[in-house]
Amino acid sequence: MTQDSTVGELLFKTLSAMEDERREDCIHCGENWYSIHYRDGVCHSCQQKHLPGRAELARRKRHIQVMYGLGIVGLLFLIALRIFS
């Protein structure tokens, strides 16, 4: 009896751990559901709203940083033109 409950407990814990691994939080709405419904950290309903995934967001962030960097360089260039002309 004790043996059975231990095995049962172990099995339950193992299954619970597997369940946890397959669950994910949506990066947009925070909905926690099985990973099978997720694509790139985005849940099924947010995918239908065409919200971007993790990779797309990282790409956009890099793009913004590049544009920001170019903006600063352009500004410095304009300042330099004013000073030296």
Q: Which of 7, 11, 18, 29 binds Zn ion (CB under 5 A)?
A: 29
Q: With CB under 5 A as the contact rule, which of the stretches 9-17, 21-29, 54-62, 68-76 interacts with Zn ion?
A: 21-29
Phi/psi at 23 (nearest 5 deg)?
Answer: -100, 150
The DSSP secondary-structure symbol of 3 reads H
Select from 28, 37, 52, 53 the one that contacts Zn ion (CB under 5 A).
Answer: 28
Total residues in contact with Zn ion, by rule CB under 5 A:
6
Paired tokens of 44: 């099924």
Q: Using CB under 5 A, which of the segments 16-24, 42-50, 59-67, 69-77 binds Zn ion?
A: 42-50
Binding site for Zn ion (CB under 5 A): 26, 28-29, 31, 43, 46
